Structure 1
Amino acid sequence: MASTPRRTVVITGGTSGLGYHCAIKIARQKPSYDIILASRTDPNSAAESINKLLGQKNVSFLRLDLSNLVLVRSFVAEFEAGAHPPIEALILNAGSQFPDDVQYTKDGFESTFAINHLGHALLFSLLLPSLSDTARIVVTSSGTHDPAQKSGLPDAHYTTAEDLAHPTPESARNPGRQRYTTSKLANVLWTYALHRRLQQLNADKGRFWTVAAFDPGLMPGTGLLREAGAFTRFIWHRVLPKALPILRFLFSPNTHTPEESGAALSWLATGDDCKGTSGLYYEGKKAINSSNESYVEKKQEDLWSWTVKTIASDPSEQRRFEVVDI
């Protein structure tokens, strides 16, 4: 019997919440894989705790700050120096929400859009040479991107990538939670734009790369609202996790613990059942339609072209980041 090839799984935001529980599931099922938890911090020694829990040594932590494009490049350099096996699953999961006034990163981009989309797009582009021939990319979005789901958050609205990255005086007055829902819409737009390019690349190069977007549902108690006020954080961390049955009944059946959604995310990233599927949007383990706006190809292409132009440092990088010159 042939031995299982060594592969790598990279999970952004893997040290807590959804990403942490996804990492446990994959590490348990794939003990021969290198599992990389890529997060800004690891205050609770997540990688060490998973290794101890499973009696294994295949999980490690690498610092990744998605809000700083220079540090994203530093992460990739450190990853490549580690001589890891090819990446079988790249799980672009980390996310932030800034509910109050608009904030900007060191690079001058609006922080929600920068962390939830732009940093991830650069990470993917830089890691292209490290992907296995059967690599799967999973992007954690959110049902809040779809106004039809009536999440209670302001409706997402995509104008242009430039406006999201550098808000005008008028758009800077938009609610912070709308910037979040729109960044989650951007995740789906980018997924569909990437899918088209992967289809062509796979046909030209004989690869089998796939991409999917994922909605984990409402998960009270995660670190998503770490930038919110003290009272909101108290409700989110202390009250709502104890009221899941009520939330499922009154708000949405798509309400889960991080463990439940982490299991669904691990299935989507590494499960045999969905292997080969691409360009789909999943609510948990079920493929569903995303928002009407997410299917507007003009908006997908605006986001894609602006992103590549912004993150590429020279013409050769731009050709590679377009996923044509691989």
Structure 2
Amino acid sequence: MPNTFGAQTTTDEVLDGIDLTGRRILVTGVSAGLGVETARALAEHGASVVGAARDLGKARAATQAIAGDLELVELDLASLESVRACADRLLADGRPFDVIIANAGVMAPPFGHTADGFETQFGVNHLGHFVLINRLAPLIADGGRVVNLSSSGHRLADVDLDDPNFEQTPYDPWVGYGRSKTVNILFAVEFDRRHRARGIRATAVHPGGIEETELGRHMTQEEMDALVASIKDAQEEGVPEFAWKTIPQGAATSVWAAIVADADAIGGRYGEDCAVAEIVEGEGVRPGVRPYALDPERAKALWTKSEELVGERF
């Protein structure tokens, strides 16, 4: 069956007619925006959803209207102690997961560090999820999936494994964001390689630009307007003009990759607008994924560096 979904597809359209009863799914960042919508769509179509969030009070308030099986667990991705405690709790529970959706993240904050001394974006967007997902790997059912939320922002910067914490180079919040989003893709590439023998496939997705989420909380409205204007100015002829998505449209690609996409098509790849993206060389604002983000050797090197940084081997 051809893929009839696109940029304007919503989560409920992706899941139309699908019963997820019996499926158990972990979603991180279930206190606002895409995380709440992803959890809602999955739970209301029958899945048992575990929603992880740093602020449980905020998460409870944000998810109180969700009809379905939703359990909340505490997870602060800026603290490996919290990450390990969350993983230990889920491991002790012992119930398997069919899907893990690594949704939580931060974008372009002022320079700072996690509790473990990592640059905030690299630590939260990558290392926290790296430890969580790897520790939970034994719980992922054969044939399961891992979905990492990346971004078209990966085009802003390749990863710098020699200086991931900006100790040798001046900090630029957008370079940091670009690096972390490239890393999200590379992690999926290597996780997919390591676990595909069990039928587990990992992928990374770009949700699109969603104005109503909290991801841009470190930006003023003027900065946000200037960013959109710069994107439109940089777009090449023939490329569809940038347009904001709604939250249900933004979460649709995550749900598509987690549930309905062909596993072999998405494994170790990058998706956008509910489809596998093409590999695109060159600069400029355009659809597609940059080749360096799918480089298997860089993915292996990232894995080794990440293990070194967190002091744990997987």
Deviation at 1:286, TM superposition (A): 1.2
Contact 1:66 1:114 in 2 (8 A): yes
Deviation at 1:293, TM superposition (A): 1.9
Contact 2:205 2:253 in 1 (8 A): no
Residue deviations 1:72-129 (CA, integer Å, cap 9, x gap): 0011122234x363100100111112443x2111211111100000000000111012
Q: Which residue of 2 aligns with 1:92?
A: 102
| Residues paired across the two proteins, number | 278
Code of the residue aligned with 1:39 in structure 2: it is: A
Deviation at 1:233, TM superposition (A): 5.1
Q: Which residue of 1 aligns with 2:211?
A: 220
Is residue 257 of structure 2 the alignment partner of residue 260 of structure 1? no
Q: Matches of residues 1-326 of structure 1 in structure 2 within 5 Å?
A: 6-29=22-45, 31=46, 33-46=47-60, 50=63, 52-54=65-67, 56=68, 58-81=69-92, 83=93, 85-100=95-110, 102-146=111-155, 155-160=156-161, 162-164=162-164, 166-169=165-168, 171=169, 173-199=170-196, 202=197, 207-228=198-219, 232=220, 252-253=241-242, 255-271=244-260, 273-277=261-265, 278-288=267-277, 289=279, 290-313=289-312, 318=313, 321=314
CA distance 1:8–1:312, change in 2 (3 Å): farther
Code of the residue aligned with 1:184 in structure 2: it is: K
Of residues 173-182 and 119-128 in structure 1, the stretch that sits farther from structure 2 once superposed is 173-182
Q: Distance in 1 between matches of 2:181 and 2:118?
A: 16
Q: Distance in 1 between matches of 2:143 and 2:297?
A: 29
Deviation at 1:296, TM superposition (A): 3.2
Secondary structure of the 1:194 match is helix
Q: Distance in 1 between matches of 2:310 and 2:143?
A: 25
Q: Which residue of 2 aligns with 1:243?
A: none
Contact 1:91 1:269 in 2 (8 A): yes
Residue deviations 1:175-220 (CA, integer Å, cap 9, x gap): 1111011110111112112222223xx1xxxx21011110001111
Q: Distance in 1 between matches of 2:202 and 2:102?
A: 11
Q: Distance in 2 between matches of 1:51 and 1:184?
A: 30
CA distance 1:60–1:305, change in 2 (3 Å): same
Residue deviations 1:268-310 (CA, integer Å, cap 9, x gap): 1122x43444112101211113112213333222211111233
Is there any run of 5+ residues in structure 2 with no aligned partner, and where? 1-18, 227-231, 280-288
Secondary structure of the 1:163 match is coil
Q: Which residue of 2 aligns with 1:149?
A: none
Q: Distance in 2 between matches of 1:283 and 1:74?
A: 33
Moved over 3 A (4+): 3-7, 42-46, 48-53, 233-236, 246-255, 295-298
CA distance 1:252–1:5, change in 2 (3 Å): same
Query: Alignment RMSD, CA only?
Result: 2.9
Q: Distance in 2 between matches of 1:98 and 1:142?
A: 13
Provide TM-score, normalisation by structure 1: 0.76
Q: Which residue of 1 aligns with 2:286?
A: none
Q: Identity, % of aligned pairs?
A: 25
Q: Distance in 2 between matches of 1:8 and 1:84?
A: 12
